[in-house]
Amino acid sequence: MDHYKVLGLYRTASKEEIKAAFKKLAFQFHPDKHSQSPKAVRENATIRFKQVSEAYEVLMDDRKRADYNFRRSSGAGPETTTILSTATDTVGAGAVTSIINLGLVAVASRPSLNSLFGF
């Protein structure tokens, strides 16, 4: 899922633009707004609301956004996403000094990261 596309934004969007797009779409797809809608419409709105919320959460957090942009530009898959996020959360953003993307496996130059990945 492309978080920028979900919110209808460019990659260069500011936090103000992200917030405005989120507010507009969250209001449009909020489950309470569709409580009386047909089941299919209600389910679609719920799915879209969750996607919009996830995109907002990632793009408003500088560290998550930088990680997301890096993964998108490097072509890293979801498995790498989990590894990089876990590494960052475990040892801190500053400690993730040299992670090399090798397809689905991330290899780190720091010993603490190597033990995290089981290397």
Surface-to-core class of residue 32, CB atoms within 10 Å of its CB (0-12 exposed, 13-18 middle, 19+ buried) = exposed
89-99 confidence digits (pLDDT tens):
444 544 443 34
The pLDDT assigned to 104 comes to 37
Q: Is pLDDT above 70 for 26?
A: yes
Q: Is pLDDT above 90 for 108?
A: no
Q: pLDDT over 90 for what percent of the chain? A: 58
User: pLDDT averaged over the chain?
Assistant: 76
41-82 confidence digits (pLDDT tens):
999 999 999 999 999 999 999 999 999 999 998 876 544 444
Q: Coil, strand or helix: which one is 30?
A: coil
The pLDDT assigned to 75 comes to 74
Q: pLDDT over 70 for what percent of the chain? A: 63
The pLDDT assigned to 76 comes to 64
E strands within the chain?
Answer: 99-102, 105-108
Q: Which two tokens stand for residue 88?
A: 């960052």
